[in-house]
Amino acid sequence: MTDTTPKGTTTERKLLWAWAVLVLITVGSWWLAPAHFTDTMQPSAGVTALLLAMMAVKCRIVMRSFMEVNHAPRWLKVGTDGWLAVLVVTVFAIYLI
Amino acid sequence: MQILEQVQDLPKAGNIKAQWVCLWSGPAVGLVLLVALLAFPGFWPPISPTLPAEEVARFYAENTAWIRFSQVTFNLCGIMVVPFFMVIVAQMKRMHGQSHVFAYCYLTALVSGATFFALSNIFFLVAAFRPERDPELTMLLNDLAWIVFIAPIGMVLCQFLLLAVAVKFDHATDRNGAAAIFPRWVGHYSLVTGLAMIPSACAAVFQTGPLAWDGLLSFWLRNGAFAAFMIVMFFVLRTAVLRQAVDDGVIADPEARLGASATR
Amino acid sequence: MSILSPDRYITRADKSPAGRPDVRLVTWFFPVWYAAFGVIICLLARVTPPPRPDVSAADKVAFMTTHALTIQVGFVVLLILLGGAGMTNALVAYQMSRMSTGPVLAYAYIGGMGVGALPGFLLVSVCFLTATFRPDRDPELIGLLYDLGMLSYNGSLGCFSAAYLVLAIAVLYDKNEIFPKWFAYLSIWQIVTEVIATQMFVFPAGPFAWNGSISFWVAVVVFSVWLGSLIFILRNTAAREPVDTDETFQGPTAG
Amino acid sequence: MTHSDSSLTATARDTDRAAQPSVGRAAHLPGDIHMWVMVLGDLIIFSSYFVIFMIYRSMSPEAYLRAQQHLDINIGVVNTVVLLTSSWFVARSVLSARAGDHTRAIRFVYAAGACGVLFMALKGYEWAAKIGAGYTNSEEFFSFYYVITGVHFLHVVIGLIVLGVVIRDLRNPARRRTSMVEAGAVYWHMVDLLWVVIFTLLYVMR
């Protein structure tokens, strides 16, 4: 089992990177949150689109990296990506209407 | 019932004893409920659904004590018939070639049916709790009490039908020479009792005629059929439990003993 | 597969009846009863989809008088057929008793569902029938019966949650593979929808009201998926049941 | 024991192959199909809540935006990081379990569970602070806020039970199965995933 160690380290490093990116995006969204401001806010489609994109990236990292969908059968990759795409598009469409 | 000395402490003797106690709880509880039934002023004759609100309120004001006594008795003792019906469940589980699914169904219907019955006396008692209440409210409670008492027959109907089906399946699959738990007529009788109770569901709709809650079908046929079934089943169950006791070797075979005394 | 008779409903590959005859009968009865139940509550009694919570007492009286006939027919039939609810639940309990977890969770299921029949079915039937019994009653009282009936019918949560919980536990622990494991997770969804349905006691309108998109419609979809799955699972497991297990069963009253 | 050893080696070899993004490697479904039915179904159910929330939000975006300003974004961000970290712990635990290092795997699951408990504590404090400040569910946004975060909270509780089961199985040499650890991990990541969406829609959406 010693031969797994170097390869395992690669995966572990990837996981750490995934986690770092997720935390970075989260902290980034902190600057954009309405609660961050005290004056009256205006709805902003641009900021919302950006936030939804950040959310989509985070979700995809969680699914692909943490949930290991990357190595999963095709139907699961398609299913999870499909769920995410439909959710984000629907949410944004409703937002715009 | 004389339990043989050598099996006195065995589980199979305990099982028979428990069934025997539950069986005899039937007539005892039945007697108490009969007293409550006779003591409830609203049953002789049953209050008419056409009574105006003021009359209903006066009925509760004038008969408060007897209503309280009889309905509290129903409240306290009504669900004590459950052990008696559990003897039926226990005997159904002994039927040959069956998976006990009917017994499970019977048990579920029994539990639900008992909760329904436990509700009606609360409405009667709340109405009698403050007879000076607005007559409209007393009439509402009276309506609820009667409708809950008479109309929800689904669970008990289901019990009769299940017993009928179980007896039929017991008979049909009886290949190994062992006798059926209940005689075949019990199934038919159970079916007829169930059918006799169906019309009373209409008591929640009709205010006059035989289907109203004081009517011939909804009140007298329904309750009469149920009481008669309890009495008949007491003897049927008594025979069944005694036979189980003999089969399990818990009591001596009365026929064998008779034969022995004859030869002596 | 045909729904016309129990022997044609649960079959082997060669179309001969499979499983035990008594289980076959009750398993066949399961979808038949739910079909009848669906017709009663949707078309006759008009409680599903539910009437609005955010209407005046006069509107509630109008609802009761407009639909008086179908409400009376529907609920009287339901009062007669209600035992079917007990039978369908008992069938699930029976299959649970065949799991490696034994009968204890099956009895818990019977307890939960058996108690649930009163707030879940009886109260709404009795309230609506009492309301239509005397439509000339004080409108406030009719309104009270309307609210009481709908809230008890849609809002009896704990009895069923308890039953779903023991069902999920039994399926997850089971080694006999009576039910597939994913069905346990479906039962957990059911609990989640019941938890959300608590909100109907707070909101008379909006997504969490008793006719709300979240409290009601999402819950109905989840329930339909759950029930539909259960119908097929019960059929499959009944077909797979060996016929000679009669004597091995151990119940509390098994002599 | 021999059997479980050999299966462990096999899974370790799977990981080995899985670690390198080479072509021609057999696809591996983490956990089991039952757990994925749960996860995908739950994602769909939650999505329906999100869509309904968005529909109501789009009817009065200004009011929702004003209400959102009263949320505690600091706790929201910290809680997101806490859950992401716990997810990372669980992912590491799966790797350790596959490599046969069960002591380490158990330690990672404990760390993840501790993060879960921390999340719940912060959530509880956040709710108490909001209710104390008068933001009750009489306001529409907050009715959604309490229900959606409440249901998510319930999922965290279930997740902690799942992690407990994973620990119990990892401790028992006779019961250890990588698929069991994977299934628990998949569930826990779903809790994380849902929170990422909730965080965006409730806290930072504009």
Residue with tokens 């069956």: B98
On the question of pLDDT at C245 being above 70, the answer is: no
Interatomic CA distance for residues A94 and A91, integer angstroms: 5
Q: Does C180 touch chain D (CB under 8 A)?
A: yes
Whether residue D91 contacts residue A69, with contact meaning beta carbons closer than 8 Å, is answered with no
Question: What pLDDT, on the 0 to 100 scale, is given for residue B175?
Answer: 52
The amino acid present at A8, given as its one-letter code, is G
| H/E stretch holding A72 | none
Residues 6+ apart with CB under 8 A from B242: B1, B251, B254
**d(Cα C134, Cα C69) in Å, to the nearest integer?**
13
> What was the pLDDT predicted at D173?
87
Distance between CA atoms of C152 and C156, rounded to whole angstroms?
5
Determine the pLDDT at residue D10.
42
Please compute the mean of the pLDDT values over residues C113-125 and round it to a whole number: 91
Contacts of A54 in chain D (CB under 8 A): 200
pLDDT recorded at residue C20: 86
At residue C12, the pLDDT reads: 84
Q: Which of B12, B177, B181 is nearest to B95 (CA)?
A: B181
Residue B23 has pLDDT above 90, yes or no: yes
pLDDT for the residue D5: 40
Residue D43 in contact with partner chain A when CB distance is under 8 A: yes
- Per the listing, tokens 């609506």 go with C128
Shortest CB distance from C138 goes to which of B99, B136, B144? Answer: B136
> Sorting pLDDT into bands at 50, 70 and 90, what band is B171?
low
Region C158-180 average pLDDT? 94
DSSP for residue D25: P
D21, pLDDT greater than 60:
no
Kindly state whether B119 is in contact with chain C, defined as any CB-CB distance less than 8 angstroms: yes
Element (H, E) at B251: none
Residue B256: per-residue pLDDT? 65
* CA B31 to mean position of chain CA atoms: 13
Question: Is C212 within 8 Å of C194 (Cβ atoms)?
Answer: no
Asked whether the predicted pLDDT for residue A11 surpasses 60, the reply is yes
More confident site: D106 or B255:
D106
Q: What pLDDT is stored for residue C83 in this prediction?
A: 92
Partner residue facing C86 (CB), from B100, B108, B201: B108
> With 60 as the cut, is the pLDDT of residue A1 above it?
no
Residue whose tokens read 């170097």: A6
The crossing angle, in degrees rounded to 10, of helices D140-171 and D33-59 is: 170
| Tens digit of each residue's pLDDT (9 = 90 or more) over B52-108 | 999 999 999 999 999 999 999 999 999 999 999 999 999 998 887 788 899 999 999
Q: What is the architecture of the domain spanning D2-16+31-204?
A: Up-down Bundle (1.20)
Task: Give the C-alpha distances (Å, rounded to integers) separating A27 from A15, B159, D68, D74, D76.
Answer: 18, 64, 17, 10, 10
Reduce the DSSP state of residue C147 to 3 states and report it. Answer: helix
Interface of B with C in 199-258 (CB under 8 A): 201-202, 204-205, 207, 244, 248
CB B198 within 8 A of CB B225: no
Residues 6+ apart with CB under 8 A from C12: C18, C239
Contact A59 D196 (CB under 8 A): yes
Instruction: Give this prediction's pTM.
Output: 0.89
> Which of C94, C118, C145 is nearest residue B116 as measured by Cβ atoms?
C118
Looking at per-residue confidence, does B248 or D40 come out higher?
Answer: D40
Q: How many CB atoms lie within 10 A of CB C221?
A: 14
Do residues B47 and B203 touch, judged by C-beta distance below 8 A? no
- What is d(CA B187, CA B241) in angstroms, rounded to the nearest whole number? 17
Q: Which tens digit of pLDDT belongs to each residue from C191-200?
A: 999 999 999 9
Handedness of CA A30, A33, A35, A37 (dihedral sign): positive
* Cβ count within 10 A of residue B254: 11
Contact B204 C72 (CB under 8 A): yes
Residue written as token pair 């749960």: D38
CA C236 to chain centre: 20
Task: Give residue B239's pLDDT band: very low, low, confident or very high (50, 70, 90).
Answer: very high
Token output for D111? 């760390």
Residue D115 C-alpha from the chain's centroid = 11
- Return the domain boundaries, chain B: 8-253
Average pLDDT, chain B: 89
* Mean pLDDT (chain C, rounded): 90
Q: Would the CB atoms of B143 and C253 count as touching at under 8 Å?
A: no
Structure tokens at C34: 């739910």
C250, pLDDT greater than 70: no
pLDDT over 50 at C242, yes or no: yes
C62 Cβ neighbours under 8 A, 6+ residues apart: none
pLDDT value for D22: 39
> What's the gap between Cα D15 and its chain centre?
23
Q: Measured between alpha carbons, how far is C98 from B116 in angstroms, rounded to an integer?
A: 29
The answer to whether C84 contacts B154, with C-beta atoms less than 8 Å apart, is: yes
Domain ranges within chain D, ordered by starting residue: 2-16+31-204
First to last CA, chain A: 57
H/E segment holding residue B120:
helix B101-129
Return the pLDDT at B258.
55
Reported as a pLDDT band with limits 50, 70 and 90, residue C217 is: very high
To 5 degrees, how large is the angle CA D141–CA D143–CA D148? 95
Spell out the residues 6+ positions from residue B137 whose beta carbon is closer than 8 angstroms to its own: C141
CA C91 to chain centre: 12
Which are the contacts of D202, defined by CB distance < 8 A and separation ≥ 6? D68, D71, D144, D145, D148, D149
DSSP labels, C232-249 = HHHHHHHHH--TT-GGG-
Query: Using one digit for the tens of pLDDT, what is the confidence trace for C48-99?
Result: 899 999 999 999 999 999 999 999 999 999 999 999 999 999 999 999 999 9
Q: Which two tokens stand for residue D58?
A: 């789009």
Instruction: Sort out which chain A residues have CB atoms less than 8 A from D40's CB and list them.
Output: 79-80, 83
**Overall residue count recorded for chain C in this entry:** 255
Output the pLDDT for position B221: 94
* Reported ipTM: 0.87
Bin D31: left if φ > 0, else alpha if -120 < ψ < 50, else beta: left
D66 touches A: beta carbon within 8 Å? yes
Strand ranges for chain D from DSSP E = none
Instruction: Output the pLDDT for position B257.
Output: 57
